[in-house]
């Protein structure tokens, strides 16, 4: 069966702009729904009874914000999330998301490698569709640790360090990391061509009109679910 059409980084950024202007959404709303779908994908992969300890690595942009929201939902689902959020900005929304986690006594750590050792799964919410170029500090060590670790990773929107259009960095086998699972938000990005693991689509907030305009497909969400599992490259299952 045909794969879901992909959305490149420029189109994804333009869609976000339009959702938050003429679409009348706030970033808080989009991030809340994106983060909820990340938490639902984690639950579909492994429930808290089996995999309670989740390390959530958050970057400085909206991909990181999705991770902060997902962690709050994971806490309420019964998981024990730990946060690695090394590059916190003064952004007011992020401040509130962090405070909500602190009030739930969700721990924050500066030691990614140490925290990863005790984790059942890692959520990679470091970079999404606005990533480009070489990974800059403080993240190269984190990407290296992900490449060396055997702990399964759920990547949010993109495996961090992969080019959104052209996939894994050309740095040789064993150098880049390969997540066990990916949740694409709104639509898969072109990099799914190089992905081979379990793949979900989430971010259930676009109209059919918007999907037609940006030439992607709304996946077949069932009932009240915020996610759909698709094939590795976005094939409909």
| φ, ψ of residue 228 in degrees (nearest 5) | -130, 135
Local structure of residue 4 (DSSP, 8 states): P
Strand partners, 58: 125
Separation CA 147–CA 149 (nearest Å): 6
Stretch that binds ligand LZDS7PUF, among 58-66, 93-101, 113-121, 172-180 (CB under 6 A): 58-66
CA 164 to chain centre: 13
Q: Is residue 32 a contact residue for K ion (CB under 5 A)?
A: no
Closer residue to K ion in complex, CB, 64/219: 64
CA 134 to chain centre: 19
Q: Is residue 16 a contact residue for K ion (CB under 5 A)?
A: no
Q: Which residues contact 213 (CB under 8 A, 6 or more apart)?
A: none
Q: Which helix (H) or strand (E) holds 15?
A: helix 9-20
Given candidates 203, 227, 228, 230, which one binds ligand LZDS7PUF under the rule CB under 6 A? Answer: 203
Find the shortest distance in angstroms from Cβ 56 to K ion: 11
Task: Check whether the bond before 110 is cis (ω within 30° of 0).
Answer: no
Closer residue to ligand LZDS7PUF in complex, CB, 115/164: 164
Find the shortest distance in angstroms from Cβ 49 to ligand LZDS7PUF: 28
Given candidates 45, 186, 191, 199, which one binds ligand LZDS7PUF under the rule CB under 6 A? Answer: 186
Stretch that binds K ion, among 19-27, 119-127, 166-174, 208-216 (CB under 5 A): 119-127
Q: Binding residues for K ion, per CB under 5 A?
A: 124, 155-156, 158, 160
């Amino acid at each position: 069966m045909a794969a879901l059409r992909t959305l490149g980084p420029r189109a994804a950024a333009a869609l976000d702009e339009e959702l938050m202007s003429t679409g009348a959404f706030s970033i808080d709303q989009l991030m809340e729904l994106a983060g909820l779908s990340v938490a639902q994908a984690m639950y579909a992969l492994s429930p808290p009874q089996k995999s309670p300890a989740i390390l959530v690595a958050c970057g400085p942009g909206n991909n990181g914000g999705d991770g902060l929201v997902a962690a709050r939902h994971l806490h309420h689902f019964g998981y024990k999330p730990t946060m690695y959020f090394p590059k916190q900005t003064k952004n007011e929304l992020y401040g509130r998301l962090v405070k909500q986690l602190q009030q739930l006594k969700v721990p924050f750590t500066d030691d990614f490698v140490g925290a990863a050792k005790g984790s059942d799964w890692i959520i990679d919410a470091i970079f999404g569709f606005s990533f480009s170029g070489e990974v800059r500090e403080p993240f190269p060590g984190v990407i290296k640790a992900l490449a060396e670790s055997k702990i399964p990773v759920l990547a949010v929107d993109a495996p961090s360090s992969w080019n959104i259009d052209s996939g894994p960095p050309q740095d040789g086998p064993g150098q880049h990391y390969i997540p066990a699972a990916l949740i694409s938000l709104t639509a898969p990005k072109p990099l799914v061509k190089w992905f081979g693991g379990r793949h979900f689509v989430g971010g259930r907030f676009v109209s059919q009109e918007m999907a037609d305009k940006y030439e992607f497909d709304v996946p077949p969400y069932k009932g009240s679910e915020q996610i759909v599992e698709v094939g590795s490259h976005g094939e409909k299952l």
